Amino acid sequence: MTGREWRDLRKPLGRRMSVAASVLCLVPMSISGCRQATATGQVLLIRAHAERVEEKGICSVSVGDGTVMLTNRSATPCIVNMNSDPHSSYFYFHVLDDSLKASKAVYAVVRYYDQAEQSHIELQYDMRRDAYRPAVLLSGGEYGGTHRWRAAVFRLDAPAFAGAQNGGADLRLHGKHLCIDALALSSELKRAFVALTPSREPR
């Protein structure tokens, strides 16, 4: 094929390509609208087991003030911060699953070990133009020194989860001597709670 034939061939190919591209874009766009609706209710979960951590659609991020260790409290596997300074110890998380990014609100349920006193848990998430937006605490989250497992519920309004926090994280937890057993995120609060019920797997 000569150069001229090659050039001539490119013209009709371009038109065909543009038609094909339009079809490829328009059809899936209509499908994606349907998928958005079905994506709600997805649960992202982190749960500590003996010598491993189960991660579904979300994972931990190691950064200077957010390196974590797997340990036990009251015979329950849990995650603690390795940093001894309680004022600069965080748990950073990166959301792997995109399904929650389009949600108006996401609920986070954290199960934590109540071992400190006169303090509470904070959750900060990556909202557009505010990488460390405090989440609204709906329930729990306080420390009373009861040495029991408790749950805290947060609401994250219009999360961007664009990885703007340290180390590309999307949200972080902070609390005095924070020790968590599980974290669940969902656009439906009930599903997040259900996900935190203990599994049958030996832990």
Partner 1 sequence: MVLGSVKMGIVTIQTVSVESEASSPIPAETCTSLSRHVDGVRVGCHMLLWAAVFAYTIYFCAVTFQRHDRLHTTLYDMGIFDQAVWLISRGHSAFLTTRGMHVLSDHFTPILYLLAPLYWIWDSPKVLLTAQSLSLALAAIPLFHIALHRLHSPVLALIIAVTYLLYPPMQWMNIFDFHTESFAPLLVLSMFWFLVRSQHRSCCIMAILLLLCKETMGLVVACIGIHALFRGERKFGSALILLGVVGLVGGMLVMRAFNHGQPSQYISLYASYGDSAPSIARYMLTHPARIIAQLTSQLNLKYLVGLLAPVGFLVLLTPEYIALALPTFLANMLSDRPQMHTTTYQYNATILPFLFIGVAHVEQVLEKWRRALSLRWRNACHIGVGVLLIVACAHAVAGGPLSSGSDTRQTSQSAAKRAGILGRALAVIPAQASVSAQTAIGAQLAHRRRLYMFPNPFQTAAWGNDPIALRHQLGLSFYALAPPALHARIAHADVEYVVLGPGDTSIFPLHGPEFQYEVRILLEDNHYGAIFAEGDILILKRGADFHAGRLIEEAVPGKLTFLRSGKAR
Q: Is 79 or 173 the residue whose CB approaches partner 1 more closely?
A: 79
How many other CB atoms are there within 10 angstroms of residue 157's CB atom?
13
Q: Is 134 or 167 the residue whose CB approaches partner 1 more closely?
A: 167
Cα torsion for 190, 196, 197, 200, to the nearest 10°?
A: 140
Q: Is 97 or 142 the residue whose CB approaches partner 1 more closely?
A: 97
Give which of 93, 87, 46, 107 is closest to 175, Cα–Cα. 87
List, in order, residues 6 or more apart from 99 with CB less than 8 Å away. Answer: 39, 40, 42, 57
CB of 19 to partner 1, least distance (A): 16
Using CB under 8 A, pick the residue from 68, 110, 180, 183 that binds partner 1: 68
Could you say whether residue 24 binds partner 1 (CB under 8 A)? yes
Using CB under 8 A, pick the residue from 151, 167, 188, 203 that binds partner 1: 167
Binding residues for partner 1 restricted to 86-105, rule: CB under 8 A:
94, 96-98
Q: How far apart are CA 179 and CA 70, in angstroms?
A: 10
Using CB under 8 A, pick the residue from 79, 123, 184, 189 that binds partner 1: 79
Give 87: exposed, middle or buried? Use CB within 10 Å, 0-12, 13-18, 19+.
exposed
Using CB under 8 A, pick the residue from 18, 19, 23, 35 that binds partner 1: 35
